[in-house]
């Protein structure tokens, strides 16, 4: 049996890895779907799809999980949510069950007749991508929350520098990411 586990993975952290391991304890193979794939350089989505593929692939490789996991890329539908399940299916191999805690995703798959299961959170107050990005921004310790391979990728692409450059001393919220031509 094969499961689909979708996330944005901005960045891929130990909470994601635990969730992945939990799903691997319930199905034979897992497709890891990287969502909102076309976006980058925003507060919500600072890393490109390619950078996220790199983070996940290296983490899987060092843990000998590549033979049970397939990495896939899923563009956002820009609010055309009725098309989302079809977009997922277009870009991923077949799967039998969807693992997600996101309500919209759950609903959309259920309306199409898919079996959907939630994933137990692992110390969510610590392992949250938003929190980890904030730690990066503030200059606090963040490396303990992500796999060593993800630390490597973020350092190679100067990811913390990117975050600080883009989001320090600027207004919060949406305008942070779209102020390209003010």
Residues within the interface to its own copies (CB under 8 A): 6-8, 35-42, 45, 48-51, 53-54, 57, 61, 66-67, 70-76, 78-87, 89-94, 102-108, 111, 129, 156, 162, 165-166, 170, 174, 177-182
From the CB of 25, what's the least distance to its own copies, in Å?
Answer: 20
From the CB of 109, what's the least distance to its own copies, in Å?
Answer: 11
Rounded alpha-carbon distances, angstroms, from residue 50 to 12, 62, 72, 134, 151? 13, 18, 11, 22, 15
Output 40-43 pairs: Cβ under 8 A, ≥24 positions apart. 41/162, 41/166, 41/177, 42/176, 42/177, 42/178, 43/133, 43/166, 43/167, 43/176, 43/177
From the CB of 101, what's the least distance to its own copies, in Å?
Answer: 8
From the CB of 157, what's the least distance to its own copies, in Å?
Answer: 8
CA gap 82, 86 in Å, rounded: 8
**CB nearer to its own copies: pick between 134 and 162:** 162
**CB nearer to its own copies: pick between 25 and 78:** 78
């Amino acid at each position: 049996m094969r499961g689909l586990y979708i996330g944005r993975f901005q960045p891929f952290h130990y909470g994601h890895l635990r969730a992945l391991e939990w799903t691997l304890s319930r199905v034979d193979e897992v497709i890891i779907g990287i969502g909102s794939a076309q976006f980058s350089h925003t507060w919500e989505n600072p890393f490109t799809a390619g950078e996220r593929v790199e983070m996940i692939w290296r983490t899987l490789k060092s843990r000998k999980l590549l033979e049970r996991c397939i990495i896939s890329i899923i563009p956002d539908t820009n609010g055309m949510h009725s098309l989302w399940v079809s977009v997922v299916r277009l870009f991923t191999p077949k799967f039998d069950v969807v693992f997600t805690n996101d309500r919209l995703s759950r609903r959309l798959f259920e309306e199409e007749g898919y079996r959907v299961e939630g994933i137990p959170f692992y110390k969510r107050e610590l392992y949250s991508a938003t929190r980890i990005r904030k730690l990066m921004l503030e200059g606090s310790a963040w490396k303990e929350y992500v796999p060593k391979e993800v630390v490597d990728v973020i350092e190679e692409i100067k990811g913390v520098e990117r975050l600080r450059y883009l989001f320090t001393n600027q207004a919060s919220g949406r305008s942070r990411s779209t102020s390209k031509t003010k």
